């Protein structure tokens, strides 16, 4: 499979890492995949990426990739506001698509893209990479087995400290004119997706945004008026009746990449912390209590590198994992679906649902996209 990569910032580099290292992490990889061309906004950065990472072609015009008959897959790592038009062209050209979140900047756009992709019968996947961490896969399995019983409530948060320094130059993810939405799009989408993936579809959501630092240093070095949410807080109800809270913030001092979630059912509970990605914590409410506690309490399940075959062989089932492992699993799942002619997940339909949740949250906050 020949891949055309659009964008080579942090996420473009991450996707390139995943493609180039699949053969190490998945035994007897049944397909071959290669990034054959890279496109960035500036020709010099595209050339540099191609030279450094062994990519044969480079360009500053995305159409060179989208309408190249030799390219099978388009991998989109560009800023959010550009997704919609690029996606329409890629679908029209019959390309399979791997797209960074969020799918688009409005639900109407996401719904249109979903329908176009279904009509064209191309394989499409949104990059919600945290689904592919071993503890999340294990949590999905346990919830599916009924270990928690009926889900009653949940809490999810994704916290960064990246916006706590007001002197730091604002990036494109903090500029609503480029990102389409603030921290809700960037971090909140991941937290929303994990609750959706593990607990089911959303029915309603209300939210409130926060801008703690109205004035920042702009990319031109001058004073800049903050126009994208720096924190967002939500109260959500799922279709199954479960209720909970979701928080996304870049103004939480002392955090790094703190994605946490807790899910509570009638018969048990699970907890996960991205800063400790090797473990899933499980509480079984069924054992009887005793004066000294009996066997009650959270159990730490050692997920580590225990991926189902053909994964888990390198560096080994007992080896600790990190953030990049989720991206490797996501990329493998997508390319495997193309190879085996299966429907990828998380699909564009799932991405559209997450987009709907975020739009409902913004509308309840009075900030209609």
Check if the beta carbon of residue 362 is closer than 8 Å to that of residue 352: no
Q: Please, is 369 exposed, middle or buried when counting C-beta atoms within 10 Å of its C-beta (0-12, 13-18, 19+)? A: middle
204 Cβ contact list (under 8 Å, min separation 6): 236, 237, 360
Distance CA 110, CA 178 (A): 17
Residue 54 clears pLDDT 90, i.e. is over it: yes
Query: Rg of the chain's alpha carbons, rounded to an integer?
Result: 21
Residue 342 clears pLDDT 70, i.e. is over it: yes
The distance between the two most distant Cα atoms of the chain, rounded to a whole number of Å, is 71
369 pLDDT band, cuts 50/70/90, is very low
171 pLDDT band, cuts 50/70/90, is confident
Q: What is the per-residue pLDDT for 122?
A: 98
Residue 210 clears pLDDT 70, i.e. is over it: yes
Q: What is the per-residue pLDDT for 367?
A: 62
Residue 4 clears pLDDT 90, i.e. is over it: yes
Query: Taking the model in full, what pTM does it have?
Result: 0.96
172 Cβ contact list (under 8 Å, min separation 6): 79, 178, 179, 219
Average per-residue pLDDT for the chain: 95
Residues linked to residue 216 through DSSP beta bridges, in sequence order: 224
Q: Which residue has the higher pLDDT, 258 or 309?
A: 258
Q: What is the per-residue pLDDT for 363?
A: 96
Instruction: Write the pLDDT tens digit of every residue in 76-91.
Output: 999 999 999 999 999 9
Instruction: Write the pLDDT tens digit of every residue in 60-74.
Output: 999 999 999 999 999
333 pLDDT band, cuts 50/70/90, is very high
% of residues, the chain, pLDDT over 70:
99
Check if the beta carbon of residue 195 is closer than 8 Å to that of residue 244: yes
């Amino acid at each position: 499979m020949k891949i055309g990569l659009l964008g080579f910032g942090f996420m473009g580099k991450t996707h390139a890492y995943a493609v180039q290292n699949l053969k190490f992490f998945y035994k007897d990889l049944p397909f071959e995949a290669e990034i054959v061309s890279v496109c960035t906004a500036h020709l010099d950065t595209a050339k540099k990426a191609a030279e450094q990472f062994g990519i044969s072609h480079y360009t500053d015009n995305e159409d060179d990739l989208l309408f190249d008959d030799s390219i099978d897959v388009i991998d989109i790592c560009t800023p959010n506001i550009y997704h919609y038009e690029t996606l329409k062209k890629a679908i029209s050209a019959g390309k399979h698509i791997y797209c960074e979140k969020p799918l688009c900047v409005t639900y109407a756009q996401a719904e249109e893209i979903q329908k176009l992709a279904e009509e064209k019968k191309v394989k499409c996947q949104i990059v919600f990479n945290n689904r592919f961490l071993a503890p999340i896969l294990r949590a999905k399995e346990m919830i599916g087995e009924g270990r928690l019983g009926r889900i009653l409530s949940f809490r999810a948060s994704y916290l960064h400290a990246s916006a706590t320094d007001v002197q730091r130059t604002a990036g494109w993810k903090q500029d609503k004119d480029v990102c389409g939405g603030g921290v809700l799009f960037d971090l909140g989408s991941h937290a929303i997706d994990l609750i959706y993936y593990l607990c089911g579809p959303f029915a309603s959501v209300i939210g409130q945004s926060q801008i703690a630092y109205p004035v920042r240093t702009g990319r031109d070095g001058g004073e800049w008026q903050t126009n994208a949410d720096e924190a967002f807080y939500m109260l959500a109800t799922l279709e199954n009746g479960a209720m909970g809270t979701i928080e996304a913030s870049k103004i939480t001092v002392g955090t790094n990449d703190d994605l946490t979630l807790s899910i509570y059912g009638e018969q048990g509970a699970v907890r996960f912390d991205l800063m400790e990605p090797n473990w899933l914590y499980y509480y079984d409410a069924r054992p009887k209590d005793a004066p000294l506690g009996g066997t009650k309490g959270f159990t730490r399940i050692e997920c580590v590198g225990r991926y189902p075959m053909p994964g888990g062989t390198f560096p080994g089932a007992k080896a600790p994992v990190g953030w990049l492992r989720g991206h490797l699993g996501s990329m493998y799942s997508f390319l495997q679906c193309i190879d085996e002619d299966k429907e990828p997940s998380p699909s564009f339909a799932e991405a559209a649902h997450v987009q709907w949740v975020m739009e409902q949250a913004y509308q309840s906050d009075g900030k209609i996209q």
